[in-house]
Amino acid sequence: MPTFVIWILGLAAGTLALFGGAAWGFARLWARPSRVFARRTPDDVGLDAESVTFKSGSKRLHAWFVSTRGGDNPSPTAILVHGWSSESSQMLPVASVLCQAGFSVFAYDARGHGSSPGDGPITLRKFTDDIIAGLDYVASRDDVDSFRVALVGHSFGAASVLLAAAEDPRISAVVSLSAFSDPVEVTHRALKALHLPRGLFLKLALTILMRWMDCRPEAITPGVQIGRISVPILLAHGSRDRRIPASELDRLASAANPPLVTRLLVDGSGHRSLLKSAELARVLPEFLKNAFEARIRKSRRLTKVA
C-alpha cells in the first residue's frame, strides 16, 4: 500500500477518534448537572416538613414530606420534581399553594442534585426512575391516599413526569410546567448555542447517551410518550420562557389525548417565574381536585359494572 494512502487512512482514523472523544466528552458534560444546595427550607414558607430519605437504584435520596392528613383519613398527595441543576426547594412556591389547598406534598433532590448523591451520568431515564422510586415511597405511607397521587414537575422534571405517567398506572394526574417535547432538539439547540458542530457530532453524542440509558430515543421523548398517558394532564408554560420556547406547549398538547389535556399559557411568565405565578396558583389546585374526583367516579362506575 502506498505511503500516502497509509498516511491518509491514519489521519482519517485519528480524526474520527478525536471526533468520537470530543462527542463522549460533550455527552459526559451534558449529563453532569451543576450541583446547587437549598437556600430555603419548607419552614421558610410556613410548612412543617418531615425530612426523609428513600432508595432509588443503589442510592438513597434526600427528601421532605409535608402531611395535611386530617384525622384518620389519608390525604391526596403531589410528588414535586425539580428541574435540571436545581433541587427540591425550587418547588416550594408550588408546595405552599398545594398544602394550603389541602394536599400533602413530597419533594426530593434527584440523583446528582442538591443533597442527594451522584450516580454517574444523570439522564432522563434516571430522573424518571427516581420519580417511580419516590412513588413507591409515597405509596408505602399510611397518611397518603395512594389512589390520589399526582406528579408535578418543572422543566427537565416536567419532561420526566410525563415519561413516568406514561408507564406507571398508579398516577392519578400529571402536571407539566415548562416541559420540552424532544430531548434531541434540546441537545441540538445547546450545540448550536455553543457553536459546536451538529450532524455526525450530534449523532455520536446521542449514541453515547442512549447507550448509558439503554433505551431507544422515542422511549425518553415526552412528545411521543405523552400519547400513552391515560390520566388528566395539565400543560403549563410561560409566554416569555427563553429557555424552552412556549411553542413546546402546543407540540405536547397536540401529541396527547385531547380530552385529557388542560392548557395554561401564563402571559408574562418566564421559565422559573412560572412557578410563582398567581395564575398557576389559581389553576393548579382546582385541576388536581377535579382529576382526583374524576378518578374516584371512574372507579365507582367500574365497581358497579363488576
**CATH assignment of the domain containing 59:** 3.40.50.1820
Statement to judge: residues 45 and 138 lie in one domain? yes
State how many domains the chain has. 2
Identify the pLDDT of residue 19: 52
Tell whether 152 is covered by a domain.
yes
Do 145 and 285 have their domain in common?
yes
Instruction: Please write the tens of the pLDDT for every residue from 226-252.
Output: 999 999 999 999 999 999 999 999 999
Task: Compute φ and ψ for 32, nearest 5 degrees.
Answer: -120, 100
Q: Do 134 and 249 lie in a common domain? A: yes
Judgement on whether residues 16 and 44 belong to the same structural domain of the protein: no
Would you state the cell numbers that stand for residue 255, as one nine-digit string?
A: 401529541
Domain-embedded: residue 45? yes
CA torsion, points 216, 191, 87, 76, in degrees to nearest 10? -40
- Within a domain: residue 240? yes
pLDDT, position 15: 44
190 part of a folded domain? no
Instruction: Give residue 71's region: left, alpha or beta (phi > 0; psi -120 to 50).
Output: left
One domain for residues 25 and 77: no
CA 296 to chain centre: 26
**Burial (Cβ within 10 Å: 0-12, 13-18, ≥19) of residue 157:** buried
Residues 213 and 256 in one domain: no
Sorted by sequence, the CB contacts under 8 Å of residue 71 that are 6+ apart come out as none
Domain hosting 2: range is 1-30+195-219
Vertex 177, ends 172 and 183: CA angle to 5°? 100
Task: Tell whether 188 is covered by a domain.
Answer: no
Strand partners, 175: 152, 234
pLDDT in tens, 172-203: 999 999 999 998 888 777 777 766 666 766 77
124 and 271 share a domain?
Answer: yes
Do 157 and 299 belong together in one domain? yes
Global pTM? 0.90
Contact call for residues 196 and 29 (beta carbons, < 8 A): no
Verify that 252 and 115 share a domain, yes or no: yes
Same domain, 143 and 260: yes
Strand partners, 81: 153
Q: By CB neighbour count within 10 A (0-12 exposed, 13-18 middle, 19+ buried), where does 102 fall?
A: middle
Spatial strand order in the sheet of 59-66: 50-56, 59-66, 104-108, 75-81, 144-154, 173-177, 233-238, 261-266
- Angle of helix 3-30 versus helix 183-193 axis, rounded to 10: 110
For residue 8, being part of any structural domain is answered with yes
68 and 200 share a domain?
A: no
Alpha carbons 212 and 106: distance in angstroms, whole number: 28
**How many CB atoms are closer than 10 A to CB 1?**
6
The reply to whether 15 and 144 lie within a common domain is no
pLDDT less than 70: residues of the chain: 1-27, 29-30, 194-198, 200-201, 302-306
